[in-house]
Amino acid sequence: MNKLKSARTGGILVLMAIIAVLPLFLDNAFQFEIAILIFFNAIVCIGLNLLVGYGGQISLGHGAFVGLGAYGSAILTMQQEWDPLLSMVVAAAFTGGLCFIIARPILKLKGHYLAMATLGMGIIISIVINTEDQLTGGPDGMYVDGLSFMTDQIQWYWLIGGLLVFSVWASLNLIHSPIGRALRAVHGSEVAAEVVGVDTTQYKVLIFVVSGVFASVVGSLGVYYSNFVTPDIAGFFHSIELVVMVVFGGMASTFGAVIGAAILTILPQVLTFLHDFEHLVFGLILMLTMIFLPKGLVPTIADFFKKGDK
């Protein structure tokens, strides 16, 4: 137990140290941009990992929730002239509410059927964003004012980096609480969880809402950071990208979600020199990882060290 706890706090300290030291090695705006993008993706992945990795429920429509946060904020600040932070909260509440309403019917499904339902839900939201062009600007996207008090890129770096540390901490808190154990129990055996008193439906709905809110908040902040939003953010490919980050980093591992997000955000940038072959090599790396490290990066490495102990 103590060892476990130290691994938890140790992990957070290492993460904080990396975030603190990283700016010394970043020497242009583009590199900062990538770092901030990693933070954003990592936060969404931490939320998604609670649903997919711990709760055992797949979602192929999480990009749509990022999109709802982004467009919610964009529309409320630009068309209603609301305060950006209030807009972010309202967008998150709306996304959470929507998740709550659709969770019950959707999470009754299992396996491929759940994947199909979440996929369909994501596509519907994406279509609505694309076609409601009076509200959303359609495929052209829309311009959004930033946060007035955030004037510098480095400020964003610290803000989102701090939010990432908070997300990791909160996610670990949640997992190591009765709620987190109930959630993992739902993944392990639903019927066994029920007979010891876990209302499995309630926990599935709860974690769907939580992961939706994580995604929505990132969508809002992302739009304030980049001052621009296009429908791609809610699209199918973004949803898949997020799931791949979680699976690649390691399901049911909070740090795995962070590392998965980091590697899969950096990799396409590194591979640009391959031009047309970029996607080919990217796919190949994913395939090989899944064949040789089926549990994902972080759990496989953790297992390796555990065996070394004995």
Least Å from the CB of residue 169 to another protein: 8
Does residue number 6 form part of the binding site for another protein (CB under 8 A)? no
Does residue number 184 form part of the binding site for another protein (CB under 8 A)? yes
Name the H helices within 53-152.
62-78, 84-106, 111-131, 133-136
Please select the residue that binds another protein; options are 17, 189, 279, 283, rule is CB under 8 A. 189
- In the complex with another protein, which residue's Cβ is closer, 176 or 279? 176
Does residue number 24 form part of the binding site for another protein (CB under 8 A)? no
| Cβ neighbours of 96 (radius 10 Å) | 20
Residues 6+ apart with CB under 8 A from 262: 38, 42
- In the complex with another protein, which residue's Cβ is closer, 32 or 169? 169
**Residues between 30 and 69 that touch another protein (CB under 8 A):** none
DSSP annotation of 152: S
- Tokens 């396409």 belong to which residue? 268
Does residue number 16 form part of the binding site for another protein (CB under 8 A)? no
**Which candidate, 40, 86, 53, places its Cα nearest to that of 214?**
40
What is the C-alpha to C-alpha distance for residues 235 and 220, in angstroms, rounded to an integer?
16
Does residue number 193 form part of the binding site for another protein (CB under 8 A)? yes
Q: Which helix (H) or strand (E) holds 242?
A: helix 236-249
Q: Which helix (H) or strand (E) holds 143?
A: strand 142-143
Please select the residue that binds another protein; options are 66, 91, 117, 206, rule is CB under 8 A. 206
Does residue number 179 form part of the binding site for another protein (CB under 8 A)? yes
| 117 close to 106: Cβ distance less than 8 angstroms | yes
Please select the residue that binds another protein; options are 24, 195, 273, 308, rule is CB under 8 A. 195
Least Å from the CB of residue 186 to another protein: 9
Pattern 75-114, binding to another protein, x per CB under 8 A?
Answer: ----------------------------------------
- Tokens 């930033």 belong to which residue? 146
**Residues between 153 and 172 that touch another protein (CB under 8 A):** 169-170, 172
| 104 close to 205: Cβ distance less than 8 angstroms | yes
Could you list the residues that contact another protein (CB under 8 A)?
Answer: 1, 169-170, 172-174, 176-182, 184-185, 187-189, 191-200, 206, 252
